[in-house]
Amino acid sequence: MWERLRSVWTIPDLRKKILFTLAMLLIYRVLAHITVPLTHTETLALNNLFSSPNSNNNLGQTLGLLDIFSGGSLKQFSIVALGVYPYITATIVMQLLQPIIPALANMMREGEAGRLRFSQITRLVTVPLAFLQAIGSAALFVRFGVLTNFNLFDPQYSLESLAILLSLTAGTMILVWIGELITENGIGNGISIIIFGGIVSGIPSLVYQGYTASSTAGGSIVSIVVFAFIGLITILGIVYIYQGQRRVPIEYPTKRMVGRGMLVGTAQRTYIPMQVNSAGMIPLIFAQSMLIFPTVLAQYLASSNTSWLANASNWIGTYIVNTGTWYYWAIYFGLVVAFTYFYAYVVWQQQNIPENLQKQGAHIPGYRPGEATRKHLNDILNRITLGGALFLGIVAILPFFARVGGNQLLSSAAVLIVVGVVLDTVRQIEAQMVMRNYSGFLT
């Protein structure tokens, strides 16, 4: 292993890519400590909000999802507190709009120039989404007394409030720019690397939180052992599912000249790799967003002057989106499974593999090109997606079981991101070494 690492470091351009990636991550972590100006009272309120999440489980779930993508910057309310979540949302929206808007689908078929225009549109869509999320985050902090001077419609505070919103929006776009620099000049997918860096930076805090929880009356050595065991099994399962694929054999007809004008037909065999988990962690984002919306809505309507509206919001917060109940996690499990199928089919339809095979003259042995091939591939997609969907659903509800001292320390989304980014980065290093005639990093 150490020999492999040494061989990686001896490749000059690969070493430059790794150092560039680390330098960009260092800049990101410096930006994460540049906070939005707060008064002493507001700073204390922010610390109290995150230091005692058990006082409001639903709020803790909401802030926990947002804090994952901000790399812990939301706890400090830094200028990059929104993280790259608005860009991820814009990317998902643009992918879902491709089947609906033919111009976007045609743009992706135009090669590199079309993909560059598509990326530019995605970045433009990110700006209003980041501004709207900045308004939502600020309004949530106003609701819980963190921001006391935030009011866009009050001339006394409008300029200060607008400066906060623009700073948060600019912070998101700076992170998107850094991510694209990493993608072009570094190792790995830049956006994923930024999220990965934020999560890894929170590991010491997670360890300390687990130690503190184990020293209280509610914690024990047994709960820590169970937590560590579940975490290890989860990581092994994620690696296994991420690597799992169904290889569908296909044949490309070829012809070669033999003698005088004689053509002999042969077949070149290859395969289509159909991933068991083709949706990644997107279903978790969709499901958590669906559950976060009624949580935030219930928080706002709980103080309504209309009695039936306040009672309805309290009932929703108590019985529907209460993270301490088993049926909340049952709903979460069902949403993850449903969104896994939905996103897998959206991505599969965009690839249009049956039609491309027919145009290239390729076929699956035993199946005619066209509708028969499409039906066969859809049946395979149904079967393998079931395994991936059930696995993601189980991973999603693990935080309900992996608790230390009553605290949910394990984040399924965070584990999926970390494992996925590590696997993708190792693959890229492996490809870089193979291109330079070095022995592989993993072999």
The H or E element that residue 62 is part of is helix 57-70
What per-residue confidence (pLDDT) applies to 208?
A: 66
The superfamily in CATH containing domain 1-201+437-443 is SecY subunit domain (1.10.3370.10)
Give the span between the Cα atoms of 420 and 424, in whole angstroms: 6
Task: Report which of 395, 388, 272 is spatially closest to residue 333, judged by C-alpha positions.
Answer: 395
For residues 342 and 426, give the distance between their C-alpha atoms in angstroms, rounded to a whole number. Answer: 29
For the segment 205-237, what is each residue's pLDDT rounded down to a tens digit? 666 666 665 565 455 566 667 667 777 887 888
Rounded CA separation 31/12 (Å): 29
Question: What are residue 271's phi and psi, to 5 degrees?
Answer: -150, 160
Q: Assess whether pLDDT exceeds 60 at residue 442.
A: no
Domain ranges of the chain: 1-201+437-443, 218-410
Confidence of residue 27 (pLDDT cuts 50, 70, 90): very high
- For the cut 60, the answer to whether the pLDDT of residue 441 exceeds it is no
**In the predicted structure, residue 359 carries a pLDDT above the cut 60:** yes
Note the pTM of the prediction, 2 decimals: 0.77
Structure confidence by residue, pLDDT tens digits, 118-134: 889 999 999 999 998 88
Fold of 218-410: Preprotein translocase SecY subunit (1.10.3370)
β 245-258/407-408 pair status: unpaired
**One-letter identity of residue 53:** P
pLDDT digits (tens, 9 = 90+) for 261-305: 555 555 677 888 888 888 777 787 778 777 777 776 776 676 667
At residue 351, the 3 state secondary structure works out as helix
Return the number of other C-beta atoms located less than 10 Å from residue 373's C-beta. 21
Tens digit of pLDDT for each residue in 159-173?
A: 888 888 999 999 999
Which class for 361: exposed (0-12), middle (13-18), buried (19 or more C-beta within 10 A)?
exposed
Q: Tokens 């976060």 — which residue? A: 292
Q: Find all residues with CB under 8 Å of 410, minimum gap 6, and list them.
A: 227, 230, 231, 234, 398, 399, 402
The answer on pLDDT for 55 being more than 50 is no
* DSSP state string for 227-258: HHHHHHHHHHHHHHHHH-EEEEEEEEEEEEEE
Pairing of strands 262-275, 403-404: unpaired
Give the model confidence (pLDDT) of 373-417 as tens digits.
888 888 998 989 998 899 888 888 877 766 554 555 556 667 777
